[in-house]
Copies of this chain bind each other. A is one copy, B any other.
Amino acid sequence: MRTSACGEHPAPARPESRTDADAGPPVAPSHGTLTPLRLDEVRLTSGFWADRQRINRENTLAHCEQWMERLGWIANFDATAEALAHGTRGEHRGANFADSEIYKLLEAMAWEAHRGDDPETDRRFTALVERVAAAQHPDGYLNTCYGRPGRPERYSDLAWGHELYCAGHLIQAAVARARTRGADEPLVTVARRVADHLYAEFGPDGRDAVCGHPEIETALVELYRVTGEERHLTLAGLFVDRRGTGTLPPIQFGAAYFQDDIPVRDATVLRGHAVRALYLSAGAVDVGVETDDRSLLDAVETQWDTTVARRTYLTGGMGSHHLDESFGADYALPPDRAYSETCAGIASVMLSWRLLLATGRTRYADLIERTLFNVVATSPRADGRAFFYANTLHQRTEGRVPAEDEVSTSAGASLRPPWYGVSCCPTNVARTLASIAGYVATRDAEGVQIHQYTPCDIRTTLDDGTVIDLKVDTSYPRGRCIAIRVRTAGRFALTLRVPHWAQGKAVLDDGGTRRHLDEATVTVRREFAEGETLRLDLDLTPRFTTVDDQIDAVRGCVAVESGPLVLCAESVDLPDDLDLEDLRVDFSVAPRPHPEGASIRIRPRAEPVAWSDRWGPYGSPMYRHDAAARPDMAAPDGGKAAGRTAEDDGGDQTSEAAADARWILLRPYHRWAHRGPSTMRVWLPVR
């Protein structure tokens, strides 16, 4: 229960788990303010994310593999192998970046094969890698869409061909395998040969070019972290520095679409295609960290600040344009045309995580939490077999339920389809959920920092040999208490993030001493005894969130949040006589806690005016002229200019007895459209 007192949740039993490997983290900088914990140092035991990991393993991995087999995307590798062996011409199925979906699935399988208890995943991984490896050219090149008989030449379309993008995802899959099974794995060998080929082709003595879709940059730095080969880092740095110098040809959407308009170091805000911008930024941070290039890190931090302050949805979603999947202008954040692509949410987590490790600033962890709960968790259907691609904040019309065998051609589907013609999101969700434990906690010289609260076991050893062994129990974000039990005595520092919305109200119960928390973190630095428990209480009372006056699209609206969860109103929760579009929030009454989310008091909007030939453009009731001079027309300031007062609108606004006041239920946004066709709003107009 949301309002339960701290500590009443029984600790769930620790599941059987494997401890056979020394699994590296999803991102492994050689240095930084914070050190990520390895995946074998943080194990989710139950709760929100463990449930999703289970569904990911049980359903999503096979779902993705079956779809890609059915559509012939995996067979593209067989056709390429055949072409290499016998010079045959074979067709290519799917988008020119279909290879990357197999690679993202491989990355998900790699993390999962380590984490999970299902030996099947390892077998399937190995079988897929064999087919991939067979398609590699003798010189290391590997792409099923280009460079074989009947297909376009290699690198003949750097703007749109996605060849280096695909190579990047191949390398990331190999890095995941290296960190969970070791660097001698076949996929790692394949990836190293790809990287060597790329160095010869695009390195210091190669062509002055970049790929239209960034991704190779972060992948190469991660491979460098696995192999120690300097040339991978060198090439990544070259790609970062070449971007923005105009090496790509002009395209319809302008050079900003693939960030070729301004060098990374000179840009002040993210722009263009959101996923591209975020992947590039992640790569730039990786390069900046490994080369100790503070100016590069500073540039990306500035871009993050500006982007989050002006170009980010309340959910953490990024990118508002459907046409080119891009960031819009500052403050152009229409909820009903929010693109907020799932992959952009994942890319944002990747970027914020890197910045958190480099700098230790908690705002990055705050945005990660927001984005995980409200974008990443929104995408998959409860069974993990259908996905949102775009994540709108306002659905005006009920969508159609897609058929289970239907490939969606539109990213803007209003109910989760099982697969897409461009299906980047399902495999991206899969690899993120499989490795999500990697984002929970970090360590430094003194101790451990917990950034995300979910039931888990954390066990790590500091550089001085201190063992820290913690068990986190919580039903967060449904429940407000996080209990952290120390299982091995020792002297260390335990740092807990206090989310922005809890600062000033959060309480830490440290062995009976209650501390009120006003800052973004709290650190307990002392000798801990075995078995003692710290309890962090985060106030989840639902709250109104208002919005900067600059965001035209939601002016005069409020949202309701509870803890890290953005809530929403759905038509399926409304009584028959209420239309979602007609609701107006009574902002004078605070939202009330509800086991499913929150209740808010609403009143129907004023009666719509009727069509008239007498006034309004062409008689339309939509626009009205001379409102100030006509007291019968609604004025945008609530009627003040027309001499009206609040009393005219219904008297005592705080009275529960207002004749038309009603209470409606809001639920977590990430669960919307789980109950069939529905309309939905995050931002609700104020009466």
Min C-beta distance of A648 to chain B, whole Å: 14
Contact check, B409 vs A251: say whether CB atoms are below 8 A apart: yes
Q: Given contacts A409-B251, A636-B557, are A623 and B363 in contact (CB under 8 A)?
A: no
What residue of chain B has the Cβ atom nearest to residue A550's Cβ?
B581
Cα A11 to Cα B529 with chains together (Å): 100
- Chain B residues whose C-beta falls within 8 Å of the C-beta of A367 in the assembled complex: 617-618
Contact check, A617 vs B501: say whether CB atoms are below 8 A apart: yes
What residue of chain B has the Cβ atom nearest to residue A308's Cβ?
B620
What residue of chain B has the Cβ atom nearest to residue A619's Cβ?
B363
Contact check, A337 vs B332: say whether CB atoms are below 8 A apart: yes
Partner of A253, one of B410, B611, B628: B410
- Chain B residues whose C-beta falls within 8 Å of the C-beta of A401 in the assembled complex: none
Contact check, A329 vs B397: say whether CB atoms are below 8 A apart: yes
Contact check, A366 vs B619: say whether CB atoms are below 8 A apart: yes
What residue of chain B has the Cβ atom nearest to residue A687's Cβ?
B637
Cα A620 to Cα B332 with chains together (Å): 16
* A305 beta carbon closer than 8 Å to chain B: yes
- Chain B residues whose C-beta falls within 8 Å of the C-beta of A364 in the assembled complex: 618
* A524 beta carbon closer than 8 Å to chain B: no
Min C-beta distance of A653 to chain B, whole Å: 8
Q: Given contacts A410-B252, A587-B641, A622-B551, are A546 and B633 in contact (CB under 8 A)?
A: yes
Contact check, B309 vs A620: say whether CB atoms are below 8 A apart: yes
Contact check, A500 vs B587: say whether CB atoms are below 8 A apart: no
- Chain B residues whose C-beta falls within 8 Å of the C-beta of A561 in the assembled complex: 625
Contact check, B321 vs A686: say whether CB atoms are below 8 A apart: no
What residue of chain B has the Cβ atom nearest to residue A518's Cβ?
B614
- Number of this chain's copies in the complex: 2
* A312 beta carbon closer than 8 Å to chain B: yes
Contact check, A636 vs B686: say whether CB atoms are below 8 A apart: yes
Cα A557 to Cα B549 with chains together (Å): 11
- Chain B residues whose C-beta falls within 8 Å of the C-beta of A685 in the assembled complex: 549, 552, 555
* A254 beta carbon closer than 8 Å to chain B: yes
Contact check, A615 vs B549: say whether CB atoms are below 8 A apart: no
Partner of A549, one of B309, B551, B558, B634: B634
Q: Given contacts A397-B329, A544-B628, A545-B627, are A617 and B500 in contact (CB under 8 A)?
A: yes
What residue of chain B has the Cβ atom nearest to residue A253's Cβ?
B410
- Chain B residues whose C-beta falls within 8 Å of the C-beta of A409 in the assembled complex: 250-252
A 309-339 contacts with B by CB, 8 A: 309-310, 312, 314, 316, 321-323, 328-332, 334-337
A 153-186 contacts with B by CB, 8 A: none
> Which residue, A321, A334, A552, has most C-beta atoms of chain B within 10 A?
A552
Partner of A619, one of B410, B500, B616, B683: B500
Contact check, A545 vs B625: say whether CB atoms are below 8 A apart: yes
Closest 10 CB pairs of A and B: A329-B396, A546-B627, A252-B409, A366-B618, A367-B618, A322-B323, A555-B556, A556-B556, A363-B618, A548-B622
For the complex with contacts A549-B584, A552-B685, 10 further pairs of A-B residues with Cβ separation under 8 Å are A312-B620, A323-B323, A328-B336, A330-B396, A500-B616, A501-B617, A543-B626, A558-B627, A587-B637, A590-B628
21 of the cross-chain contacts (CB-CB < 8 Å) are A252-B409, A305-B611, A309-B611, A314-B623, A321-B337, A363-B618, A366-B618, A366-B619, A394-B552, A500-B616, A500-B618, A543-B626, A544-B625, A544-B628, A546-B623, A546-B636, A548-B621, A555-B555, A555-B557, A587-B635, A587-B637
